[in-house]
Amino acid sequence: MTSPDLALSIDSDRLVQRLDDLARVGAIEGTTGCARLALTDEDCAGRDLVTTWMHDLGLEVVIDGIGNVVATMPHPSGRSPVMTGSHIDTVATGGRYDGNLGVLAGLEVIETVLTAGIELHRPLAVGFFTDEEGSRFQPDMLGSLVYVGGLALEDALLIEDAAGAVVGDELDRIGYRGAAPLPAAAPHAFVELHIEQGPVLEDEDVTIGVVESVQGISWTEVTLTGRSCHAGTTPMRLRRDPGVVAAQIAAYVRELTGEIGGAQVGTVGSLTLTPNLVNVVPSAATLIVDLRNTDEATLQEAERRFREFVAQAAAREGVDVELRSVARFEPVAFDGGVIDLVEQCAGELQHTTRRLPSGAGHDAQMLARVCPTAMIFTKSVGGISHNVDEYTAPEDLAAGANVLLQTMLRLTTTEFDR
Amino acid sequence: MTSPDLALSIDSDRLVQRLDDLARVGAIEGTTGCARLALTDEDCAGRDLVTTWMHDLGLEVVIDGIGNVVATMPHPSGRSPVMTGSHIDTVATGGRYDGNLGVLAGLEVIETVLTAGIELHRPLAVGFFTDEEGSRFQPDMLGSLVYVGGLALEDALLIEDAAGAVVGDELDRIGYRGAAPLPAAAPHAFVELHIEQGPVLEDEDVTIGVVESVQGISWTEVTLTGRSCHAGTTPMRLRRDPGVVAAQIAAYVRELTGEIGGAQVGTVGSLTLTPNLVNVVPSAATLIVDLRNTDEATLQEAERRFREFVAQAAAREGVDVELRSVARFEPVAFDGGVIDLVEQCAGELQHTTRRLPSGAGHDAQMLARVCPTAMIFTKSVGGISHNVDEYTAPEDLAAGANVLLQTMLRLTTTEFDR
C-alpha cells in the first residue's frame, strides 16, 4: 500500500467521547480538568478504562515492569509495529488533553483501520507510558526512559515520591507491574500526537504543528548572598545588595534571548528575596534561570554568556554567588523522514502546517533514541496547559488524529522498510 | 550660665546598668534583644520601670491621653523645658538601644545635673512616646504625632492592631491613659539621642553624628499583570512577562540613585512573582520601591523619573501596571541653631563628628514641628538595628549622652531664649 486512502477518517465523536469518559476518572469538581497523578488509585482507574478499550478492539496488550501498557494489532508477520502513544497520568490540576489525546487518538487510529479492514504490511501499536509528568516521581518521562533503556528497571522501581512511597510498591499495589521485558524491542517508527501546550499555532492560525525537535533545557539556580541593612540609613556606596544583582540577572536573561535570537528562550519564573521586606536591603536572593534552545552549541553559548554576566554583576556589587545546575537536557532532533511525512500528510489533508520545536518534554523524545520518530501538535487555546482550563476544539483534535492516521499508515508501507 | 562645665559628665556605668535593667523586661531568651511591642504587658512593665526611675529622681511625671510619659525637673520659673526623649517600645525582635538609649540617657543627664546641684534658667525634661515603632499600631511615631497635634487624640485612640485590639482599650488595660492635655505645650527645644541604625559612623570611624535632617520617604507599590504561560513553549515575541518588567524596574532603581546622586537612596527589598515557578512565565509581579532623599524637590524628581521608567517598561512588554503610594513623608530639616550647638558641644568634648541625615524616622521629626530640634547619633555596630544583635559600645553610649548633656545645658541658657 503506497497510496493510502485519504478519505479514510477517524470518528471524531468517538474520540471526543473517549476523552470525556477518561476525563471523568479523577475529575476535578467544578472544572473540566482532572487529577490522575502517576500510580495513584485514579491513575489505576484510568489505566483500567483504557486497557479495557484496548482489549475490546482485540489488541494484544502487554504490560512491562515499569507499568507501560502497549497494545498491538494482531499481525501474522512478526514485523515490528509502527507505534504511537503518550501518557494518561496528569499533573495535580491537569487538563483532559495533555497525553490523553495521544493515547486515545492512537486507539482511534487503530479502530479506524480495523473497522475499514485494511491489510497492513506491519502492525500498528498504541501505548501509554508511566509517569510522564514527573509530578509524583522524578524524573519525568520515567516510563518511556526505562522503555528505551535509558534507566535500569531496578533503579526506577526504587524511586520514591515526596511521601516516601516507592514506584515498585505502587505498581504492585495498583496491579500494573507487568512481565514484558525491558528495555523493550524498538518499534519500527514512533509518532506522537500531542497538544502544543504553547500559543504558536493559535497565534498564527495554523492547524497542524510538525514537530522537528525538542528544545534542550538548562536550569541554573543562582544563590546570591550580600549584607542585609536598613534601606533608609545605608548609603548606596556601602551596600552589597543581592536583590539588585538578582534583578540585573533577570533583566539580562531577556536581553540575552534577543542577542542570541532564533529559537532561544529564557525565563526567570522563580525569584525570592530574603527577608523580602520593603525597608530592608535583602541578605540573600535566589532565582532559577531557564534557558532553552533547539541547538546544543547555541544553548552552550547562551549558558556561557549568562555565567559571565552573573560573575560580573556579582563582583560589581560585592555579593557572593553560587551556581547550581538543577536540570540539563540536550536538544533532541526528530527523524527527517518522519518529519517530512507528517508535513506531507497534513498538506494532503489540506491543513495549514508549521514546523516548530517542542518547548516541553515528551515521551517521543525517549523513543527517538531507538527508532525514527516525530510528533504532531494541535492547537492549545490560549497556550494553556497543565491547567484545568486546557482546551482544544473537536475539529483540531480530529485534524491531529487524521494526520496521525495517515502518517502511521504511510509508515507501515514497504517504502519505509529501511 | 553661658559657659557650662565641660568636666561635668554622666555616669556611664549607671547608664549601662539602666539599659541592662530595661532590656531584661521582655528579654528574648538566648539573645541580648527584647520584645516590647507597644501597649503590651511587656511595654507596660518597661513603662513602670522607667516611670519609677523618674519618680525616684523627684521629677514631675505626667501621662497624656495617648500614653506619652514626660518627666520634668521641678522648677520655680514656669519656663518651658528643654526636652529630650525617645521611645521604649521595640519591634518584635528588637535590640536594647533603639529608643531606650534616648530615654535613659535623658534620665542620666537629669540625674547628673541634679546631683551636681546646678541651677538652670529653665528646667530639663525627658519623655518617652507611645508606639514609635509602629510594629503594632500604624502609623509609627504615633505618640509624638499626637503630642504635637499632627493627629487628633480621638482618632488615635480608635486605631486597631492586626488582631483587632484598639489603642484606647489597650491604654486603659495597662493603665497608661493619662489626663495631661493634647496637643501638649511645646517645649523650648528638643534634642534626641539615638543609635544611628546605619553603618556610616562606624565605616568612617566617627564618634558623633550631627543629624541635620530626616530623609523624606516615598514607598510605591508596583503591581504588574501580564500573561502566564509555559517557559518552554512560548516564543519570546508572544510573552507579556511581568517578572521581566519587575526586574528591569528593580535594576533601574539602582541606576536612578546613581543618576540623582547625593543623598538619594533607592531600594527594592520586597519583590514577589506569581506563581513563582521555574518553568512558568509569571502572571503577576509585585514590588515595593523605596526612594528617600533629604531634599523634597529632588525626591520628587526621583519619583518622576521612576514613574516614567515604569510606564515605558510596562508598555514595552505589554503588561498592565498599577502604582499605589503606600507611604510618603516629606523630608524634615532640623533647626540650624540646635544642629550647630550639637556639633560645637561634640567638638569641645574632643569627639570626631559628621553631619548626616537620618535615614529612619524618629520622634524628633514630630517635635521639629513645634520647637527647635536636632538629633545626636552614636555608632551602630555593623549598622545593625531592629534586630537582637543591635550593639553600641559603652564608650559610644557615654559619648552620646555627654554630648546630649552639654547640648541640653547650653539650650537652657538665656543665650537661647529666643
Pick A279's closest partner by Cβ from B250, B253, B290: B290
Work out whether the CA dihedral A368, A185, A85, A47 comes out positive or negative.
negative
CA-based R_g, chain A, Å: 24
Tell me if A49 is assigned to some domain: yes
Mutate to test the interface with A, among B233, B291, B324, B358 (most CBs of A within 10 A): B233
Taking CA–CA distances from B215, the nearest residue in chain A reads: A232
Q: Are residues A206 and A76 in the same domain?
A: yes
Tell me if A5 is assigned to some domain: no
Pick B229's closest partner by Cβ from A199, A281, A288: A199
Contact (CB<8Å) B250/A258? no
Enter the DSSP assignment of B182: S
Reported ipTM: the value is 0.87
Q: What pLDDT is recorded for position B6?
A: 87
Work out the minimum CA distance from A118 to partner chain B, whole angstroms: 37
Pick A232's closest partner by Cβ from B236, B281, B359: B359
Work out the minimum CA distance from B298 to partner chain A, whole angstroms: 16
> What share of chain B has pLDDT > 90, as a percent?
93
Q: Is the confidence at residue A1, as pLDDT, over 50?
A: no
Model pLDDT for residues B349-395, shown as the tens digit of each residue: 999 999 999 999 999 999 999 999 999 999 999 999 888 999 999 99
Pick B230's closest partner by Cβ from A235, A250, A359: A359
Contact criterion met (CB below 8 Å) for A297 and A311? no
> What share of chain A has pLDDT > 90, as a percent?
93
Q: Is the confidence at residue A3, as pLDDT, over 90?
A: no
Q: What pLDDT is recorded for position A4?
A: 56
Q: Is the confidence at residue A2, as pLDDT, over 50?
A: no
Q: Are residues A289 and A324 in the same domain?
A: yes
Tell me if B4 is assigned to some domain: no
Contact criterion met (CB below 8 Å) for A238 and A227? no
Taking CA–CA distances from B268, the nearest residue in chain A reads: A278
Q: Are residues B112 and B243 in the same domain?
A: no
CB pairs under 8 A between A and B: 202
Q: Give the domain extent around B147.
A: 12-214+333-416
Query: Any idea what the CATH number is for the domain that residue B171 is in?
Result: 3.40.630.10
Pick B270's closest partner by Cβ from A230, A277, A360: A277
Q: What pLDDT is recorded for position B2?
A: 41
Model pLDDT for residues A5-24, shown as the tens digit of each residue: 888 999 999 999 999 999 99
Q: Are residues B34 and B173 in the same domain?
A: yes
Query: Which ranges in B205-359 belong to alpha helices (H)?
Result: 242-260, 296-317, 336-348
Contact (CB<8Å) A238/B278? no
User: What's the mean pLDDT in A299-304?
Assistant: 98
Q: Are residues B23 and B169 in the same domain?
A: yes
Q: Are residues A255 and A343 in the same domain?
A: no
Work out the minimum CA distance from B120 to partner chain A, whole angstroms: 36
Contact (CB<8Å) A386/B230? yes
- Residues of chain A with Cβ-Cβ distance to B386 below 8 Å are 230
Query: Any idea what the CATH number is for the domain that residue A270 is in?
Result: 3.30.70.360
Which triple of cell numbers denotes residue B10? 554622666
Pick B234's closest partner by Cβ from A199, A271, A358: A199
Tell me if B20 is assigned to some domain: yes
CA-wise closest residue to A131 among A98, A91, A164, A104: A91
Q: Are residues B232 and B289 in the same domain?
A: yes
- Residues of chain B with Cβ-Cβ distance to A95 below 8 Å are none
Q: Are residues A144 and A21 in the same domain?
A: yes
Q: Which residue has the higher pLDDT, A387 or A131?
A: A131
Work out the minimum CA distance from A290 to partner chain B, whole angstroms: 7
Contact (CB<8Å) A200/B383? no
Contact (CB<8Å) B290/A278? yes
**Confidence class for position A409, pLDDT limits 50, 70, 90:** very high
Contact criterion met (CB below 8 Å) for A28 and A93? yes
Model pLDDT for residues A95-130, shown as the tens digit of each residue: 999 999 999 999 999 999 999 999 999 999 999 999
The whole-angstrom separation of Cα B351 and Cα B51 is: 32
Q: How many domains does chain B have?
A: 2
Q: Is B257 left (phi over 0), alpha (psi -120 to 50) or beta?
A: alpha
Tell me if B1 is assigned to some domain: no
User: What's the mean pLDDT in A154-161?
Assistant: 96
Q: Is the confidence at residue B210, as pLDDT, over 60?
A: yes
- Residues of chain A with Cβ-Cβ distance to B141 below 8 Å are none
Q: Among A289, A308, A329, which residue terminates a domain?
A: A329
Model pLDDT for residues A357-405, shown as the tens digit of each residue: 999 999 999 999 999 999 999 999 999 988 899 999 999 999 999 999 9
Contact (CB<8Å) B238/A203? yes
- Residues of chain A with Cβ-Cβ distance to B268 below 8 Å are 243-244, 247
Contact (CB<8Å) A290/B278? yes
Q: Among A329, A346, A372, which residue terminates a domain?
A: A329
Query: Cell match 527577608: residue?
Result: A275
Q: Are residues A281 and A383 in the same domain?
A: no
Taking CA–CA distances from A232, the nearest residue in chain B reads: B359
Q: Is the confidence at residue B1, as pLDDT, over 50?
A: no
Taking CA–CA distances from A270, the nearest residue in chain B reads: B276
Tell me if B2 is assigned to some domain: no
Contact (CB<8Å) A292/B232? yes
Q: What pLDDT is recorded for position A6?
A: 87
Contact (CB<8Å) A199/B243? no
CA-wise closest residue to B99 among B211, B194, B190: B194
Q: Is the confidence at residue B65, as pLDDT, over 60?
A: yes
Q: Are residues B153 and B26 in the same domain?
A: yes
DSSP A70-112: EEE---TT-PPPEEEEE-----TTB-SSTTHHHHHHHHHHHHH
Beta strand residue intervals within A261-372, DSSP E:
265-274, 280-281, 284-293, 320-329, 332-333, 353-358
Tell me if B168 is assigned to some domain: yes
Contact (CB<8Å) B230/A273? no
Q: Among A313, A329, A345, which residue terminates a domain?
A: A329
Contact (CB<8Å) A198/B233? yes
| Statement: the pTM of the whole predicted model exceeds 0.80 | yes
Q: Are residues A229 and A310 in the same domain?
A: yes
Q: Is the confidence at residue A239, as pLDDT, over 90?
A: yes
Tell me if A1 is assigned to some domain: no
Pick A232's closest partner by Cβ from B235, B265, B280: B265
Q: Are residues A35 and A109 in the same domain?
A: yes
Contact (CB<8Å) A360/B232? yes
The whole-angstrom separation of Cα A72 and Cα A185 is: 13
